[in-house]
Amino acid sequence: MGLTTTTDRDHAFSHEALLYSGEADFLAGTLPFLRQGVAAGEPMLVVVSAEKIRALRAELAGDCDAVNFADMSEVGDNPARIIPAWQDFLADHGGGTRPVRGIGEPIWAGRTPDELVECQHHETLLNVAFADSGAWRLLCPYDADALPAAVIEEAHRSHAIIQEDGSEQASEISRDLDQMAAPFDVPLPEPPEGAHEFAFDRWSLSKLRASVASEAAGAGFGAAQVDGVVLAVHEVAANSVRHGGGRGFLLVWRDRDALICDVRDDGHINQPLVGRVRPALDALGSRGLWMVNQLCDLVQIRSFPTGNVVRLHIRPTADVASSA
């Protein structure tokens, strides 16, 4: 399976990286893209930082009413929530039956190393999620001055088309769809010494929930958020019981401002979009990892030959952190 190129993007999903240097170059690359969409009457959604939204609105002037805007720090704090936002936009604006446009910048210099890896994985999975979605163009800006060279190289691997300095070309190293849909096995940092470990099986899930509640409370989470942490870990552990050999291990530790809960089992995850596609209202099952992504600040899913790892990052909410 191949990816969309400059010759067929009018009929299929076109995933394009814009390499820019500074705000002026960002505007030079995005404004013509948006003005073309305005002229064609195409629905458009821009998901970037609040600062860039203000700059685009000022330049577009009256045309900005034809563009939908959303703050990426809200939509994509957890990168796994971005694909559903694009799916909602397409569903609401005739995606598949009429051309649409989008601009999304999930990767910026302030991302943590863990977030950056998950954002890069998200960029790859966009190609899988929208392979059959019809004609729409998604432009993904990358600040080449602020981001490491390795991040820019990865952009060439996850985007079929590269725009830079007012010109565009097909990427020579973009992965094919089979590679993009393969199980994600990028290594995770090892848990620290002293991480608390809990073994569980189907008969000890209630005991596991009690242990997680104690860990979260000890980390300064309020009662309501403790319930959320417990629910998220339970959903992952229950999946391990059902699909990962009937048992698993939980490791818990604190990392800077987050509580980390690491669930490991002997299973194998072969659904590349698991947890990233909103389940149908009448769907039986398939809701666990979707719910986990709504509850957690970051979810890292890995499938290795030795088994699965699902790592949850949960930060105390602002009101809890301020009172702790």
E-only strand ranges, the chain: 13-20, 44-48, 68-71, 100-104, 136-143, 161-164, 167-170, 196-201, 247-255, 258-265, 298-304, 307-314
- CA pair distance 118, 251, nearest whole angstrom: 20
Read off the amino acid at residue 291.
M
Cα separation, 138 vs 162, in Å, equals 12
Residue 199: half-sphere exposure toward Cβ, Cα within 13 Å? 4
Helix axes 149-158, 113-129, angle to 10 degrees: 10
% of the chain surpassing 70 pLDDT? 93
Burial of residue 282 (number of CB atoms within 10 Å: 0-12, 13-18, 19+)? exposed
CA distance 109 to 116: 9
pLDDT in single tens digits along all 324 residues of the chain: 345 555 466 679 999 999 999 999 999 999 999 999 999 999 999 999 999 999 999 999 999 999 999 999 999 999 999 999 999 999 999 877 889 999 999 999 999 999 999 999 999 999 999 999 989 999 999 999 999 999 999 999 999 999 999 999 999 999 999 999 999 999 999 999 999 999 999 999 999 999 999 999 999 999 999 999 999 999 999 999 998 999 999 999 999 889 999 999 999 998 999 999 988 776 555 688 999 999 999 999 999 999 999 999 999 985 544 344
- Supply the DSSP string of 30-85, one letter for each residue: HHHHHHHHHHHT--EEEEE-HHHHHHHHHHHGGGGGGSEEEEHHHHSSSGGGHHHH
Measured on CA atoms in the order 159, 165, 170, 175, is the torsion positive or negative?
negative
What pTM was computed for the model?
0.93
Backbone angles phi, psi at 249, to 5 degrees: -135, 140
> Residue 256: its pLDDT value, please?
83
Provide the edge-to-edge strand list for the sheet that holds 44-48: 68-71, 44-48, 100-104, 136-143, 13-20, 161-164, 167-170
Structural domains in the chain, CATH included, are: 13-180 (3.40.50.300), 196-323 (3.30.565.10)
By DSSP bridging, strand 258-265 and strand 196-201 are unpaired
Task: Give all strands (DSSP E) within 158-291, no chain letters.
Answer: 161-164, 167-170, 196-201, 247-255, 258-265
Task: Give the Å distances, CA to CA, from 63 to 89, 92, 226.
Answer: 19, 20, 45
Report d(CA 156, CA 176) in Å as an integer: 12
The string of pLDDT tens digits covering residues 206-261 is 999 999 999 999 999 999 999 999 999 999 999 999 989 999 999 999 998 899 99
